[in-house]
Structure 1
């Protein structure tokens, strides 16, 4: 990665730490993580279950406190922000895809993609146009009015991908986004996800334990004993 790309990093972590107390014993999950992700770069975060990948993504996504070190998102030092400002930064800059889709069960596919856009201030018409565009690109044009319970696992995860990209985030975080799917469906969904992310120009940090899937991304970093290798 060039010096300029590092300087303009979408996300930059400096000496990030996270510890927990369990049964009176201190457990150091992150021990000083340093990472820079360039604009448009898709980075695979590789590591076995329990290695701290989800903890690292929670830190980058500003989902909880208790972390030491510095987190910068699109040039903003998130470590110095109060709770409200962190919420705004997360809403405006970050999109999430989880292993479980977490779709709203009482809303159909297009409504699940429309709602976060309206929260961000878009009109319903703008939000529906963007949702339709994304869902069509993911092969769900005929499933817009179906609720999550009426969709297959792969279709549910495609809706979750559309929701994450709806607000054109600067950074997309994905935590084992295809871990709940069979291999063939996982390959299809991941391919569509990567194509859409590259099309939007977003940067992405994708946690996985699947070496094969990781190799389809621009760069691989490995979390081992609390530090990146």
Structure 2
């Protein structure tokens, strides 16, 4: 048996996804194979419409309709019930999107606390963890501010903290700096990469920005439904 510590955090085998549009079949993913190792940060490059978000939705167990096999930390997600996939997603994955999707009526600290409490932590434990993450991202003085009181870069850093709150094995990031200007994007990405590495997590980051992708451990291009 393989050592669980050395298992890939993600293993995709012949992953496929097709859609019907106007009576025509469109093959978005045509048999994607990928392994991401513990602690590895991988960039997924491709223009808009190339299927990057579709692939992240598959890995994130966010929708059905995929063919092939998806394994997360050695667990075959394709054999699980809906509840089993929800538990696997909660316990193993974190998500960062292009738009922060923070809860507007809660402050920064509370936005990072909530997913931890859903996972069963006490409020005290969740508060400590949230404060540590926000401090690490330079938001120590902004913990009680609501999203509308934060800049775009600050909002996205809170979203990063929220994604890492439950110590996921893998963070899925879909154009995480796409809404930011270049200077802010560079800073947020640098902090994201440093925090992911410091936490010992892995990450799969979808982007169209080759300059940002070059900062990661490996780069794959999604072209005509296959990885290059």
Give the TM-score, by structure 2 length.
Answer: 0.97
Does residue 1:75 correspond to 2:89, yes or no? no
Q: Match of 1:107?
A: 106
- C-alpha displacement of 1:8: 1.6
Paired with 1:8 and 1:84, the residues of 2 have a C-alpha distance of: 24
* Deviation beyond 4 Å, 4+ runs, structure 1: none
What CA distance in whole angstroms lies between the structure 1 residues aligned with 2:195 and 2:139? 14
Residue 95 of structure 2 is matched in structure 1 by 96
Aligned pairs, number: 226
The CA RMSD measured in Å over matched residues stands at 1.3
| 1: CA distance, partners of 2:142 / 2:117 | 21
Q: What SS does structure 2 have at the residue aligned with 1:162?
A: helix
The corresponding residue for 2:184 is 185
Q: Identify the residue that residue 60 of structure 1 maps to in structure 2.
A: 59
2:215 equivalent in structure 1: 216
SS state of the match for residue 142, structure 1?
A: helix
- Partner Cα distance (1:8, 1:116) in 2: 26
- In structure 2, the partner of 1:143 is 142
Q: Secondary structure at the match of 1:65?
A: coil
Separation in 2, partners of 1:209, 1:28: 20
1:65 is displaced (CA, Å) by 0.3
Give the gaps of 5 or more residues in structure 1: none
Residue pairs, 1:127-166, within 5 angstroms? 127-166=126-165
**Counterpart in the other structure of 1:51:** 50
Residues in 2 aligned to 1:197 and 1:225: alpha-carbon distance in whole angstroms: 30
| Residue 107 of structure 1: how far off its partner (Å) | 0.3
SS of 1:103's equivalent in the other structure is: coil
Shift of 1:156: 0.3
SS in 2 for 1:58: helix
Shift of 1:88: 0.2
Q: How does 1:10-49 map to 2 (within 5 A)?
A: 10-49=9-48
1:159, CA displacement in angstroms?
0.3
Residue deviations 1:177-220 (CA, integer Å, cap 9, x gap): 00000000000000000000000111110000000000000000
- Give the Cα separation in 2 of the matches to 1:49 and 1:138: 29
Unaligned runs of 5+ in 2: none
Q: CA deviation at 1:98?
A: 0.2
Deviation at 1:172, TM superposition (A): 0.5
